[in-house]
Structure 1
Amino acid sequence: MQLDRISTSVFQASVYLWKLAYINLIWILLTLSGLIVFGLYPATVAMLTVIRQLSEQEDLPIFRTFWTAYKKEWTAANKLGLFLTIGLAVLYADSVFFEAKQHEAIGLFYYPAVIAFWMLLMTGCYALALQSMYKQTTIQLLKNGFLMAISMPVSTFMLITGTGALLLAISYLPWLLVFYAVSLWGWLLHFAAGMAIAKTKKKQTVLQP
């Protein structure tokens, strides 16, 4: 009986790992099909949609669900992505500029720029997760993503440390980049965002569906 349970668990884990590899491959293909610039954000939102639905439905038609979400969220995801890309690029350039300056007064702006960069990055991660779950405007996604980033430190810390651990693993196992890197990060984001949303609802924080 115990051996049967172990065999079943191993089989289920193998199937789920295969699905994650398949999701990762589809994400790569659809990102490339949008010439990366226009495919990155819709493919990421679609991936998060698939991962969320896969947790609720084992026999989910993965490619069809992915493709449907990709087409549906293409415009909205790129609007959100445009804002995030410009914002992150500006803050990154600011941090490099302030770090390079030797003048003490100007150098003081370096740390605020770095903090703002990471806050926007976390806000963007949560906003992408929210877009895969709710129908919201870009402003609502960013507002709610920011509230989640600052009010749910445990989920945010888990997301940051988990992402760091994944990047470290990739540095030692580069093949993960092809087969699992993005889908594992998507699963991590889905889990962290799910925790944050559950706590947000419990605290009766405003989160418009």
Structure 2
Amino acid sequence: MEFGKTSGILFTICEWITRLAYVNLLWLLFSAAGMFVWGIMPSTVALFTVVRKWLLKETGIPVWNTFWKTYRKEFLRANLLGLLLLIPAVLVAIDLMFLKTVAGPLQIALFIPLWTLILCYLLTLLFLFPVYVHYRAGMIDSIKYALFHAVLNPHRSVIMLVAVAAVIFLNLYMTALIPFFSGVMIAAVLMTGGYHSFNRIKGKTVTQT
């Protein structure tokens, strides 16, 4: 009886390892299919969509069909979202280069608001994809909701940031993991953190009502 229980647990673990590796390979494949420039955003949206369904205990979903359908449906919108995210990133990069050319009080005066902006940008990225696939909101609304959740849950944001950094470090340390678990591990961390944040806000709303 004990052996049957143990073998069942091992089978479940192996099954999930296979699922995670499979969807991560799809993420890389579809990103490459769009030459990464046009493939990374819709592929990432599809990845988060699958992970969200798993989180909601929809473990029997057809992964390929779900991924491919989401990729096709979100291809244009996801790339527009990517372009929208690229604009502040470019502006911040220009500001950082400009900051190197000034000195004294002016540099200090510019330093604080610039790094505040960078922090807000990074925090928004943590929640952006979870918000986008969970609420199915518009691009601007997704960015606003992502920043809202990040600011409202500072402790969770820090935990998510540390967890993502740990995943990146692990993948860099064990590069063999990259083709199989790099993207999906980050998606799992962010989607789990985001989902708990959504439920917390929902619970507060219900209580206040």
User: What is the aligned partner in structure 1 of residue 45 from structure 2?
Assistant: 45
Question: Equivalences for 1:41-120 in 2 at 5 Å?
Answer: 41-55=41-55, 56-99=57-100, 101-120=102-121
Change (3 A) 1:178 1:99: farther
Task: Return the TM-score normalized by structure 1.
Answer: 0.89
Conservation of the 8 A alpha-carbon contact between 1:99 and 1:110: no
Change (3 A) 1:5 1:90: farther
Aligned mates of 1:196, 1:81 — CA distance in 2: 23
Aligned mates of 1:184, 1:47 — CA distance in 2: 11
Aligned mates of 1:204, 1:179 — CA distance in 2: 39
- Structure 2: runs of 5+ lacking an equivalent: none
User: What is the aligned partner in structure 2 of residue 146 from structure 1?
Assistant: 147
Change (3 A) 1:177 1:99: farther
Question: Equivalences for 1:1-209 in 2 at 5 Å?
Answer: 1-55=1-55, 56-99=57-100, 101-204=102-205
Change (3 A) 1:102 1:136: same
Conservation of the 8 A alpha-carbon contact between 2:123 and 2:157: yes
- Structure 1: runs of 5+ lacking an equivalent: none
Conservation of the 8 A alpha-carbon contact between 1:42 and 1:78: yes
Normalized per residue, the structure richer in helix is 2
1:150-182 CA distances to partner (integer Å, 9 max, x unpaired)?
001122112100011112112211122211111
Percent identity over the alignment is 25
1:110-146 CA distances to partner (integer Å, 9 max, x unpaired)?
2432231232122133122122122211121111111
Conservation of the 8 A alpha-carbon contact between 1:25 and 1:179: yes
Aligned mates of 2:2, 2:128 — CA distance in 1: 43
Conservation of the 8 A alpha-carbon contact between 1:41 and 1:81: yes
Aligned mates of 2:125, 2:192 — CA distance in 1: 16
Aligned pairs, number: 205
* Aligned residue identity for 1:125: L
Aligned mates of 1:109, 1:6 — CA distance in 2: 59
Runs of 4+ deviating beyond 4 Å: none
* Aligned residue identity for 2:204: K
* Aligned residue identity for 2:117: A
* Aligned residue identity for 1:42: P
Task: Return the TM-score normalized by structure 2.
Answer: 0.89
